[in-house]
Amino acid sequence: MIGLVVRNTGSSYLVKTLDNELVECRVKGNFRIKGIKSTNPVAVGDRVSFEVMADGTGWITQIEDRKNYIVRRPANLSKQLHVIAANVDQLLLVATINHPETSTVFIDRVLATAEAYQVPTTLIINKIDLYTEDEQEYLTALKQLYESIGYRVLCVSAKSGAGISEVKSSLLGKTSLLSGNSGVGKSSIINAVSPSIETRTGVISDVHNKGMHTTTFSEMFEVGADSFLIDTPGIKGFGTIDFQREEVGHYFPEIFRFSAECKFGNCTHIHEPGCAVRKALEDHFISESRYNSYLSILEDCDEGKYR
């Protein structure tokens, strides 16, 4: 039988058949995707072949070719990767200025990974109803920064409903992946765009100003005709993987544009003479925060460490 993986609990997968039936499936211990060392060989969004057993459960036997996928490096298995989702049309990255604060390094690491895997990304800044005047000014600056690079930025409040109509319209006819730190309000956004789903919402830890995990597995929800939203567990860190040092700049669109004018074709934009990227940095055409994020990924390439 053929089906679509709509939930991944870590130990099993829920697969929706062409007749909209749901079958709980597992994979055999030796099941691997050719060429990919992954902690989870099957991901939400995968189209799979499976065999149904006498007890009604199934064994996944094959994964159809993916049009794309997006990965991160898990904290406990730095040599392998974790496939977050497969066959997605866009990534919706949810961030917050505070309650909790999302670092620009985290944002840039996710954006660079999405660029590497050719997944278009929209940045959604949530909880705009909670910000002080200074935080609102920072929000405006952050929005201008990422829009100047070419990213779409939506400023929303899942609580008040501000901006949610734009999120809804962006979902139409697409399979979208929703991601972000714990506590930024992903579940609240899902509830706002599709109240019938009723995902659980969490609270923020006052002590650490960090989100508490409420989603413990990845799951796909239908939010309209041919419109699907994949919710993922909150991510505290985002380790990049499989990046070649000389290619990292390609995944920062503004760095890539200026790099064409560098004196040396293999310029790392750190110390070489005639570097157009560092000149653009000095002239404020490239932001310091983005350049620092670029350097942090280069450190990953050099040391193979998780960040």
| Sign of the Cα pseudo-torsion (38, 42, 43, 46, in order) | positive
25, pLDDT greater than 90: yes
Comparing CA positions, the residue from 287, 299, 281, 283 lying closest to residue 151 is 287
Q: In this predicted structure, what is the pLDDT of residue 207?
A: 39
pLDDT in tens, 42-74: 899 999 999 999 999 999 999 999 999 888 765
* 185 φψ region: left (φ > 0), alpha (ψ -120 to 50), beta (else): left
* Residue matched to tokens 């669109």: 253
94, pLDDT greater than 50: yes
Q: Break the chain into its structural domains and give their ranges.
A: 2-63, 69-231, 245-303
Superfamily of the domain at 2-63? Nucleic acid-binding proteins (2.40.50.140)
Please give the average per-residue pLDDT across 148-172, as a whole number. 96
Q: Tell me the pLDDT band of 79, cut-offs 50, 70 and 90.
A: low
Q: In this predicted structure, what is the pLDDT of residue 121?
A: 97
Q: In this predicted structure, what is the pLDDT of residue 234?
A: 67
Comparing CA positions, the residue from 63, 67, 35, 32 lying closest to residue 47 is 63
Q: In this predicted structure, what is the pLDDT of residue 276?
A: 97
Do 16 and 50 contact (CB within 8 A), yes or no? no
Across the chain, what does the average pLDDT equal? 86
Q: In this predicted structure, what is the pLDDT of residue 162?
A: 96
Q: For the chain, what is the radius of gyration of the CA atoms? A: 20
Do 90 and 44 contact (CB within 8 A), yes or no? no
Q: Any idea what the Cα angle at residue 181 is, between residues 38 and 32, rounded to 5°? A: 10
Tokens standing for residue 5: 């993986």
pLDDT in tens, 221-271: 999 888 999 998 766 555 555 678 889 999 999 999 999 999 998 999 999
Compute the distance between CA of residue 293 and CA of residue 240 in angstroms, rounded to an integer: 11
Which fold, 245-303?
A: Ribonucleotide Reductase Protein R1; domain 1 (1.10.40)
pLDDT in tens, 191-224: 999 888 765 444 333 434 444 444 457 899 999 8
Q: Show Cβ contacts of residue 197 under 8 Å, excluding neighbours closer than 6 positions.
A: 190, 191, 221, 223
Task: Give the burial string for 9-40 (b: 16+ CB within 10 Å, else e).
Answer: eeebbbbbeeeeeebebbbeeeeebeeeebeb
Question: Any idea what DSSP says for residue 248?
Answer: G
Comparing CA positions, the residue from 73, 106, 47, 109 lying closest to residue 251 is 109
Q: Show Cβ contacts of residue 18 under 8 Å, excluding neighbours closer than 6 positions.
A: 2, 3
Please give the average per-residue pLDDT across 162-175, as a whole number. 96
Q: In this predicted structure, what is the pLDDT of residue 257?
A: 96
CATH number of 69-231: 3.40.50.300
pLDDT in tens, 103-152: 999 999 999 999 998 999 999 999 999 999 999 999 999 999 999 999 99
Please give the average per-residue pLDDT across 80-102, as a whole number. 91
Q: Show Cβ contacts of residue 88 under 8 Å, excluding neighbours closer than 6 positions.
A: 45, 68, 69, 70, 119, 175, 176, 177, 230
Tokens standing for residue 95: 């961030």
Q: In this predicted structure, what is the pLDDT of residue 104?
A: 96
